[in-house]
Amino acid sequence: MHNKLKNLINSYPNDINILHVEDCPDTIIATNNILSKYFKNIASVQNGEEGLNLVKKGNTKFDMIITDLDMPIRDGISMIKEIRKFNQDVYIVVFSVQRDSEYFIETINLGINGYILKPFKLTQFIDMSIKFMNYLYLKHPIKIQSNILNLEFDYKWDKEKDILIYKDKTIKLTINEKKLFVLLGKSLGTYTSDELGEYIFEDYTPANSNKLRNLLSKLKTKLGVSLIDSLYGIGYKLKNN
pLDDT digits (tens, 9 = 90+) for 79-99: 999 999 999 889 999 988 766
77-99 in b/e burial notation, b at 16+ Cβ within 10 A? bebbbbbeeeeeebbbbbbbebe
pTM recorded for the entire structure: 0.59
**CA atoms of 162 and 231, how far apart (whole Å):** 24
- Confidence bin at 233 (pLDDT 50/70/90): confident
The full set of domains in the chain, from first to last, is 2-144 (3.40.50.2300), 148-238 (1.10.10.10)
For residue 195, count CB atoms less than 10 angstroms from its CB and return exposed for 0-12, middle for 13-18, buried for 19 or more. middle
pLDDT digits (tens, 9 = 90+) for 23-53: 999 999 999 999 998 898 999 999 999 999 9
Residues belonging to the chain: 241
Strands 235-238 and 228-231: antiparallel
